[in-house]
Amino acid sequence: MEVNRIEEEEEEEEEEDEFGFSRNYFLSKELGSSRKKSARKLSDINLVDEEELREAAANIEPKHEKEIKDLAITYKQSYSEWKFVLRCGFGLLMHGFGSKKALIEDFASTTLTEYSVVVINGYLPSINLKQVAITLAELLWDQLEALRKMSSGSQSKNQQPFNARSVDNLIGFLNEPLPLDADDEECFVCVVVHNIDGPGLRNPDDQQFLARIASCANVRMVASIDNINAPLLWDKKMVHTQFNWYWVHVPTFAPYKVEGMFFPLILAHGGSAQSVKTASLVLQSLTPNAQNVFKVLAEHQLAHPDDEGMPTNSLYTICRERFIVSSQLTLNSHLTEFKDHELVKSKRKSDGQDCLYIPLSDEAIEKLIAEIGQ
């Protein structure tokens, strides 16, 4: 009897605990719904200027510098192996924690000196991939011409300008078998893609375009990824047949200084100085002629603040007079690059004429001209 009484008391205590938990749960819900909601908003937060926040972050004392340098030195010992992998027809895919930009550029500048190299910065907001294909085709053509001149002492007839060709035609040229007189020589161009999983390359069409370029017989690709979900961008065919990746684990533990310039910081608002720095980085990746075209447009905008923009034909006339461009086609190529990176925008004036303008303040444009003029 005593045992039964103890069991009954334990059951009653368990029931009371469950009842107490249930009652407290519903009481908290009732009280929560009756409380006055806070009227505070995210916009009420006093945000620090992004430039100040980045400056403070840049002044953080780095740690383990010696170990990081020693790690980079050990990777140098693999450069010859990586070159051999490229020569065998594979693509190099660098992965691991830390920025791999400096490592890949050091590898390309010291080990791939006998090949032409084109660099794509995938961390930029947008990229003109057709222009990349045009540049690759032009470099491959120059290499083939040099080989022909060495072997036979003659040059081939003038080619149709590559910037007038279609994408399929460019891909076809990059995939053509080498001429007979160049069979004994290696002849391919390398394309380096920093952050192939970056925001400017993340959509399926761009990834498929890169895969087609990488699969060309006369192209080798070296790329880096930094997002753990980056392999989800590719299907089985792209990984094993087109890119044909040779995975290389190279954690560098280096900060993402350049790559992070284009991402807004939490609890910070952007300033004009940050816009200038971002635009300056983009312009530095373009050719000197493209920079000069941008400078002409910037100077016109500063000299005519009341205008709605600069007419395209006026820009072409000035650039032609200063020998910056040789044709309207060349100017359009530069303008496409500017628009892709949102450095320049176009709008239609009240008289129906299309005009170009730089979406920055006069102060920011002046700073930008000073920076690209250095």
Torsion sign over Cα 290, 291, 296, 302: positive
Q: Quick one: pLDDT at residue 245?
A: 96
According to DSSP, residue 327 is labeled S
- What number of residues does the chain have? 374
Tokens of 329: 């086609």
Work out the burial of residue 146: count CB atoms within 10 Å of its CB; fewer than 13 is exposed, 13-18 middle, 19 or more buried: middle
Domains present along the chain, CATH in parentheses: 63-148+163-247 (3.40.50.300), 265-371 (1.10.10.10)
Q: Quick one: pLDDT at residue 220?
A: 95
Q: Quick one: pLDDT at residue 190?
A: 94
Q: Quick one: pLDDT at residue 42?
A: 42
pLDDT in tens, 101-111: 999 999 999 99
Residue 350 CA to chain centroid, in angstroms? 36
What stretches in the chain show pLDDT beneath 50? 3, 33-42, 180, 182-183, 267
CA dist list (Å): 107 to 102, 207, 308: 9, 24, 47
Torsion sign over Cα 230, 98, 282, 243: negative
Residue 265 CA to chain centroid, in angstroms? 18
Q: How many whole angstroms separate alpha carbon 365 and alpha carbon 73?
A: 41
Q: Quick one: pLDDT at residue 10?
A: 57
